[in-house]
Amino acid sequence: MSNPQERAEVLLRQLVPDDASRSVGPDRQVTANFSSGSRAISSYERIHGQVSQDPIDWSTVETVATKQLTDVLYAKAEGIAKVTINRPEVRNAFRPETVEQMSTCMADARDDPDIGVVILTGTGTEAFCSGGDQSVRGPGGYVGADTIPRLNVLDLQMQMRRLPKPVIAMVAGYAVGGGHILHLVADLTIAADNAVFGQTGPKVGSFDAGYGSTAMARIIGQKKAREMWFLARLYSAQQALDMGLVNSVVPLAELENETVKWCREILRNSPTALRLLKSALNAAEDGHAGLQQLGGDATMLFYHSAEGNEGRQAYMEKRRPDFSKFKRLP
């Protein structure tokens, strides 16, 4: 296709909706006239189709790994798992049982091959999560029914980081203290316009010297992270967006629809690519543990290859493996 006019027409068909007229002028300038109400459709949408805007029909899961869920709601649909902190009476503050149930749901989502993305949220519109429940905080952590003080939310943070599927925090209302850190360690954050963000630890004699400090500094910068911790102020959704703390802000009424839209778009992409990208993006911050995850993901990918299978088959057949057929690429 050597004719510039033909090339321009092909390009225009990719970028302009069908209800818009197209033309290439004598000066080879491409123009398009859009009808009222039409919008430019991206080439991605023209090839793959637009993401569905239909409401999602969740299926509730009441028992996970023989455990009855009390502090958490768990649901699945369309390859999406949704974990909801269900303690609205305390602004979705977590206690050890809450964290244990969240961890159980995250493990289930990891092991379910039909799940490709996880949403983390809180019940109601007043709070995503207000952090640890101070009423059960003891000398060594948060005290559960077994009377043992724990800081098991730290394990949950690592679990979310190493879960080989994207985790999206869907935030309405307060995301403060330990709840703020949960959205921080999620891969993406979609916030409602009523969302409020901040670290409250210094006001209640607490702090997070792990992801809550280091990951935050990498995301928003050292100066802003120190401001957030040292002053313990609260920030609006727009302020959070401006500092790069969240990915998008939408009206409260559209929060779930927008989050589900992001999930549906993610699910169109290669699960192996997403897995390797997540572990690669985390590797530098997570040290040897991050490198182990990245290395393990690479091993899993290699096991799917003909070269990897040749070594196994040769061992099982008690013969010398023939790797000569595999190119030593630059």
Domain 271-316 indexed as CATH 3.40.50.10140: no
DSSP class of residue 94 equals B
Report the pLDDT averaged over residues 247-263.
98
pTM for the full predicted model? 0.82
Band of residue 329 on the pLDDT scale cut at 50, 70, 90? confident
CATH 3.90.226.10 domain range(s) in the chain: 59-266
CATH 1.10.12.10 domain range(s) in the chain: 271-316
- Round to whole Å and give the CA distance between 326 and 307: 7
pLDDT for residue 7 is more than 80: no
Which has the minimum average pLDDT: 4-13, 72-81, 89-98? 4-13
The larger pLDDT score, comparing residue 211 to residue 259, is at 259
- Round to whole Å and give the CA distance between 193 and 254: 10
CB proximity list for 195: less than 8 A, separation 6 or greater: 128, 171, 172, 173, 174, 175, 236, 237, 240, 246, 249
Residue 184: CB atoms within 10 Å = 22
Each residue's pLDDT tens digit, 151-194: 889 999 999 999 999 999 999 999 999 999 999 999 999 999 99
Band of residue 43 on the pLDDT scale cut at 50, 70, 90? low
- Round to whole Å and give the CA distance between 168 and 141: 27
**pLDDT given for residue 178 in this prediction:** 94
The larger pLDDT score, comparing residue 288 to residue 81, is at 81
Indicate the average pLDDT of the chain. 88
Each residue's pLDDT tens digit, 267-300: 999 999 999 999 999 998 887 788 888 888 888 8
Band of residue 327 on the pLDDT scale cut at 50, 70, 90? confident
Report the pLDDT averaged over residues 32-58.
72
- Round to whole Å and give the CA distance between 30 and 240: 40
Tell me the CATH number for domain 59-266: 3.90.226.10
Residues 224-241, buried b or exposed e (16+ Cβ, 10 A)? Answer: bbebbbeebeebebebbb
Report the pLDDT averaged over residues 209-232.
93
Which has the minimum average pLDDT: 54-58, 109-113, 139-143? 139-143
pLDDT for residue 150 is more than 80: yes
